[in-house]
Amino acid sequence: MLRAIERNQVVTEQQILLPLNQVLDEVTPKPIELKSLTVSPSTAQSIQDLFPEQEYEEKNIQLAKKSLGALSVEFSPEQLKNLIAEVQFLTESWLDEFERQIFKGLTLQELLHEKGGK
């Protein structure tokens, strides 16, 4: 470089950057072109078959909204989901308690299972 300065030669930016770019192009990994992911109807149906509870929850939320009528707008979908779970739990608990009173301490399911049913 001293000789270049002594001879009044100027080193240009291009002379420095061109070799640097060539080295960087060689060592930098090339980006992989990704194909866009599309979900076919059969794939969507397979996912639905694997996780049917989401469709079930959505149907329950719609039924709750229908039952509540105008009052349903005051609840978020998450609140409705929680409300449905609480009502189902209470209903099942009350029904179990009622069955235990009638069937001498057993629920109908326990009684059927005891008799060899499913």
**Residue bearing tokens 């990994």:** 29
Range of the domain at 101: 73-118
Asked if residue 106 is part of any domain, the answer here is yes
Q: Which of 61, 48, 117, 55 is nearest to 88 (CA)?
A: 61
| Residues 28/21, Cβ–Cβ less than 8 Å | no
Lowest mean pLDDT among 2-6, 66-70, 75-79: 2-6
Cα distance between residue 58 and residue 43, in whole Å: 20
Which residues have CB under 8 Å from 75's CB, separation 6+?
A: 68, 83
Asked if residue 21 is part of any domain, the answer here is no
The pTM of the full predicted model, rounded to 2 decimals, is 0.48
Count the domains in the chain. 1
Distance of CA 29 to the CA centre of its chain: 32
pLDDT-based confidence at 24, cuts 50/70/90? confident
